[in-house]
Amino acid sequence: MKKALKLLKPLKPLKPLSALSALALLAPLAPLAPAHAFGGLLVAGGGGSVERTNAEVLLARRGARTVMSVSLSYRGGQQGAALLLSVPADFELTRAKTLPRRLFDRLDLVSAPVASEYWEQDPCYREPAQGTKSFEFGEAEMELSAAPGSLTSLFEPKEGAAFIAGEYDLTLLSPEESGAPAAWLSARGYALPAGGAEALAALGAGGRRLLVAAVDPQRVKRDAAGGVTLSPLRLELDPSEALALPARLALAGAAAPLDATVYVLSPEGRHEPSAAPSAPLPSNLDVAPMPLDALAGLHARLVEDALGRQGKAAVTERAWAAGACDPCAAPALAAEELRALGGDLLGERGEDLGAWTLTRLRARLAPGAEDLALRPVSPISGGRGEVEDLTPAGATEVSAEDAFQARYVLRHRWEGRVACKAPRFGVWGGAPGEGGAVGAPPPARLLAGVGRARPAGDLAALIRTPLKDYGVPGGGQGAGNGSGKGKGKGKGKGK
């Protein structure tokens, strides 16, 4: 199915781009290593078992106020499951809402890493005397072709109910019950992992209460592999609480690290861990041409290297104004989406969506770690630029405003016939045969639901950009400046 959309113009002036094709790596990436998930403790009911497979946490923050939304994915739980969350002592059930899953799909869509794919144009082509109209950024339409069953509908923010009934039955334990919740849970058929009872009792002793979100197995949808992705559960937290990614409860009984995709929406700019080691992912990487599923696998390998071998607690995949993008692989968040994600409680009226920054982190904590405290930090930029000038490739720069994204550049050199005396190499545009003016940006194609195949070869063979921290010297397959000079086939005499 194909659909045309106008390219979004950024809310704030940005340098125009040319000759790009933005392809979002939109399938939510699988956990990078065997891991549990942030966002609360998931327990099985009815004598069954449950295996957590992924977690997404959104922290909407303005001043001292925080709204947290959590979505977990798991396998098992056919007899029921429950998500256990630690909440403030004065928490009320009216401060808990279930969001449509579509909102988190949109978050993933607008913040996913992007790829810009270019083809070197016929070096012997010369525009007719009259020429064709030059391309200007913002005038072209994006052609969106998606795989069957993909998230094509998410390209158009739709009005509808901000909250749904969902699959949860919520119970807020009293202060007394929260002090010793193991008996309450056991009486209802929920089995705690080793160390779970102690972790829950410690939270109760600290004045916290336990929110039990029981999952009705009849109200969830399972994928072909039997997996479940829960609707986001939104919680309004106490204004006095510092911004942190909750992990202590989820870490109870965990023998492996916890992984999560973490989103922070805040007018205070980009966020990163306050003390734990972190870094932005390298961006504007010049990589060997490959299918999108292989490119998604390459991205996962870079994240795993940073979180695993390098020991980072988090890596930044995106930090940009919530209402802007450049290049745009999908329309940015709409005002009504921001309000549903917590902006309604934080004073957001849709007057200046560009004032809110969306940060996307991939985070990992080891068993026994404390909650991951987050703080606003200086703006950075990266992942933009003309195909002829990707400097500084792989790096980020201090900026006046946040404009950073993980981006990959795939360049296909001209390999056709060169039959002219003065070939002009290094002119980039769409794939041969797609039509349009030479040098014009090719249409952006969205491939949702791509696989997660890992590409053949090591990082050094696939990445042309030097990356010291990742052990990549630069070069890779077909290293060079991208010009196809001297590579043409069937080279003949020009006329």
pLDDT in tens, 78-108: 999 999 998 988 999 999 999 999 999 989 8
Give the integer Cα–Cα distance in Å for 131 and 166: 57
Give the integer Cα–Cα distance in Å for 28 and 6: 25
Average pLDDT estimate for 136-148? 32
Beta strands per DSSP E along 243-287: 244-245, 258-266, 271-273, 278-280, 285-287
Give the integer Cα–Cα distance in Å for 409 and 116: 5
Strands 258-266 and 50-62: parallel
pLDDT digits 0-9 by tens, 362-378 = 999 888 888 899 999 99
Give the integer Cα–Cα distance in Å for 403 and 385: 12
User: Would you say residue 379 has pLDDT above 70?
Assistant: yes
CA angle 250, 254, 258 (to 5 degrees): 60
User: Would you say residue 37 has pLDDT above 50?
Assistant: no
DSSP annotation of 219 reads G
8 Å CB contact between 361 and 261: yes
Strands 258-266 and 141-145: unpaired
**Confidence at 21, pLDDT banded by 50, 70, 90:** very low
Helix (H, G, I), strand (E, B) or coil at 155: helix
Q: At 56, give phi and psi (nearest 5°).
A: -130, 135
Which helix (H) or strand (E) element contains residue 375?
strand 372-376
Give the integer Cα–Cα distance in Å for 449 and 27: 5
Give the integer Cα–Cα distance in Å for 352 and 62: 14
User: Would you say residue 51 has pLDDT above 60?
Assistant: yes
CA angle 228, 231, 237 (to 5 degrees): 135
**Confidence at 110, pLDDT banded by 50, 70, 90:** confident
pLDDT for 314? 95
pLDDT digits 0-9 by tens, 177-228 = 988 899 999 999 998 888 888 888 888 778 889 999 999 999 999 999 899 9
Partners of 340 in the β-ladder: none
Q: Which is nearest to 73 in space by CA: 226, 299, 189, 193?
A: 226
Q: Which residues contact 241 (CB under 8 A, 6 or more apart)?
A: 64, 66, 88
pTM: 0.81
Indicate the range of 54-63, 130-139, 392-401 predicted with least confidence: 130-139
Indicate the range of 52-56, 256-260, 387-391 predicted with least confidence: 387-391
8 Å CB contact between 91 and 60: no
Helices (H), 424-471: 459-462
Instruction: Label residue 472 exposed, middle or buried (CB < 10 Å: 0-12, 13-18, 19+).
Output: buried
Average pLDDT estimate for 113-140? 64
Tokens encoding 14:
């940005």
Give the integer Cα–Cα distance in Å for 465 and 447: 25
Neighbours of 178 (CB within 10 A): 24
Partners of 61 in the β-ladder: 66
Of residues 399 and 312, the one with the higher pLDDT is 312
User: Would you say residue 60 has pLDDT above 70?
Assistant: yes
**Confidence at 111, pLDDT banded by 50, 70, 90:** confident
Average pLDDT estimate for 222-236? 93
User: Would you say residue 20 has pLDDT above 80?
Assistant: no
Helix (H, G, I), strand (E, B) or coil at 55: strand
Task: Please report where in the chains the tokens 């070197």 appear, as a residue.
Answer: 120
Omega before 282 within 30 of 0, i.e. cis: no
Helix (H, G, I), strand (E, B) or coil at 182: helix
